[in-house]
A = this chain, B = another copy of it.
């Protein structure tokens, strides 16, 4: 089954910064999508500037896995769209957060924590170590790989304890960072992957490309989307699976909806 991925890009620095524009002439989202397609994934793109940021209800309903790259314009992302994406994740859409998207509204919404960290933009060496051998997201990778120039992100990283820590980064300047973390929110698989500063050619790195292809496959939940996401159905006494009689005082009358 072909997996349908949408790579969402903020697409700001590609338009305003010559270094980024030269490095990623089709946008970072374009480069990432091309690499996913090379891996047999049906990948398209969406950007902040499109109507509804390119993430209409119809589009998301047809999306198996959404990848998200944002940095300068987190605040410009509409809360309505964030709610919509969150609902699709809860219903089963996979979500992969890239690099500076640690501060994206959608990531903070799903984590429930500040998601802050320390950082340094010095083009230093990053070395990613696999901490969960043979994890599907690490398939085909060596035990460690390097990115010669990357931005540093340092611990403490204010996120909830993950389901699994897949990668930890070593930085030349002396810091460490949990670079690959898996979560589940509702029926949706969520993966945060650290590398990807816009002034470096990170998304052309073969190991990074392998991680993203693996992560898309891992995040894909083939089950139909969950419906009634926010419903709290009232199971009446008549509908009880075991015979019971009503006892004691009540607040609600039959058929009444619960409070939300």
Binding site for B on A (CB under 8 A): 13, 17, 19-20, 71-75, 86, 90, 92, 100, 103, 109-114, 116-124, 127, 129-136, 139, 143-144, 146, 149, 152, 154-158, 160-161, 163-165, 168-176, 178, 183-187, 197-200, 221-223, 226, 229-237, 240-242, 244-252, 258-260
| A149 contacts B247, C-beta separation under 8 Å | yes
What is the count of identical protomers in the complex?
A: 4
Main secondary structure of the interface of A (DSSP, over half): loop
CB nearest neighbor in B for A162: B161
Residue of B nearest to A201 (CB): B248
A227 to chain B, nearest CB (A): 10
Does A251 lie within 8 Å of B199, measured CB to CB?
Answer: yes
Cβ–Cβ < 8 Å partners of A92 in chain B: 134
C-alpha gap A117/B258 in the complex (Å):
11
Contact call A154/B129, Cβ cutoff below 8 A: yes
Closest chain B residue, CB of each to CB of A225: B134
**Is the beta-carbon distance between B113 and A185 smaller than 8 angstroms?**
yes
* Contact with A103, one of B164, B178, B232 (Cβ below 8 angstroms): B232
The chain B residue sitting closest to A129, CB to CB, is B155
Q: A100-B259, A114-B186 are in contact. List 17 more A-B contacts (CB 8 A).
A: A19-B251, A112-B112, A116-B231, A120-B235, A120-B240, A123-B247, A129-B154, A131-B178, A133-B186, A143-B155, A143-B156, A146-B241, A160-B183, A163-B164, A173-B237, A173-B241, A173-B244
In whole Å, how far is A223's beta carbon from the nearest beta carbon of chain B? 4
A199 engages B242 (CB within 8 Å): no
* Contact present for A178 and B165 (CB under 8 Å): yes
The docked-state distance in angstroms from the alpha carbon of A240 to that of B133 is 21
Which B residues lie within 8 Å of A157 (CB)? 131
Q: Which residues of B contact A154 (CB under 8 A)?
A: 129, 235
Of B124, B155, B222, B258, which one neighbours A244 at CB under 8 angstroms? B124
Q: Is the CB of B185 within 8 A of A175?
A: no
Residues on B with C-beta less than 8 A from A158 are 90, 133, 186, 229
In the complex the two chains form, what is the Cα distance from A134 to B229 in whole Å? 12
Among A92, A156, A199, find the residue whose CB has the most chain B CB atoms closer than 10 A.
Answer: A156
Contacts A112-B110, A172-B242 given: A160-B184 contact, CB under 8 Å?
yes
